[in-house]
Amino acid sequence: MSRVQSLKISVAQILGRPGTQKEIPVVAPLEGLQGPLARVAPESVRAELRVEAVVEGVLVTGRPVATLELECARCLKPFGAEVASEVCELFVAPGTEAPDEDAYRIDGLEIDLEPMLRDALGLELPLNPICSKDCKGLCAHCGADLNVGTCDCRDDATDPRWAPLEELKAKLQEERT
């Protein structure tokens, strides 16, 4: 079966014939779907979707998967990950009353899968991606990547918030001598 590049899918064959269905394998880009440290990689959204005619319109079910480009919140290293989501959404037929205002709608004889995929995968974007659960992050003092090696900062280094006071103290001591 050929893969669909567009996210606008015709439902002409099944609309109004409850019980009929078709399978739609999707591979498509989903542009601009991103958070502060995560974004969906270009051309990476894949889904085997089933579109089934029901009395109110069509029901779309399946498991969209996307590859994410992430930045570690601790060490800032770029890394990749896959996320999957589950969809089970009604697209309401023209002239049929929607169960709620936000319901997806059939436009003529087509459904546009993009808003649904955007909504579903948008929820899977991590706010705080970590490259590995053992990531040691960056040194708060010198910025060295502690996954790569240690730095020369002492363990008892002062809290950076006190640095101006420490400088003042050093200066006063200098003036006294």
What is the rounded distance in angstroms from the CA atom of residue 106 to the CA atom of residue 92?
6
Determine if 81 is a binding residue for Zn ion (CB under 5 A).
Answer: no
Q: Which residue from 4, 54, 81, 139 is in contact with Zn ion, where contact means CB under 5 A?
A: 139
Total interface residues for Zn ion by CB under 5 A: 11
Total count of residues recorded for the chain: 177
Q: Please report, as a single letter, which amino acid is at residue 166.
A: E
Determine if 75 is a binding residue for Zn ion (CB under 5 A).
Answer: yes
DSSP, res 158: P
Determine if 135 is a binding residue for Zn ion (CB under 5 A).
Answer: yes
Determine if 71 is a binding residue for Zn ion (CB under 5 A).
Answer: no
Of residues 107, 112, 104, the one with CA closest to residue 94: 107
Determine if 141 is a binding residue for Zn ion (CB under 5 A).
Answer: yes
Stretch that binds Zn ion, among 50-58, 87-95, 96-104, 129-137 (CB under 5 A): 129-137
- SS3 for 56? coil
Q: Which residue from 142, 165, 168, 170 is in contact with Zn ion, where contact means CB under 5 A?
A: 142
Least distance CB 122 / Zn ion (angstroms): 23
Alpha helices in 62-150 (DSSP H): 114-122
Give whichever of 59 and 157 is closer to Zn ion, judged by the CB atom. 157
How many CB atoms sit inside 10 A of residue 174's CB? 8
- Joined together, the tokens standing for residue 83 give 């996320």
Give the contacts of 142 (CB within 8 A, at least 6 positions apart).
151, 152, 153
Determine if 38 is a binding residue for Zn ion (CB under 5 A).
Answer: no
The two beta strands, 104-105 and 87-92, are parallel
Determine if 72 is a binding residue for Zn ion (CB under 5 A).
Answer: yes
**Contacts to Zn ion from residues 146-175, by CB under 5 A:** 151, 153
Stretch that binds Zn ion, among 26-34, 56-64, 112-120, 144-152 (CB under 5 A): 144-152
Least distance CB 82 / Zn ion (angstroms): 18
Give the contacts of 13 (CB within 8 A, at least 6 positions apart).
20, 22
Residues at the site binding Zn ion, with contacts judged by CB under 5 A: 72, 74-75, 131, 135, 139, 141-142, 144, 151, 153
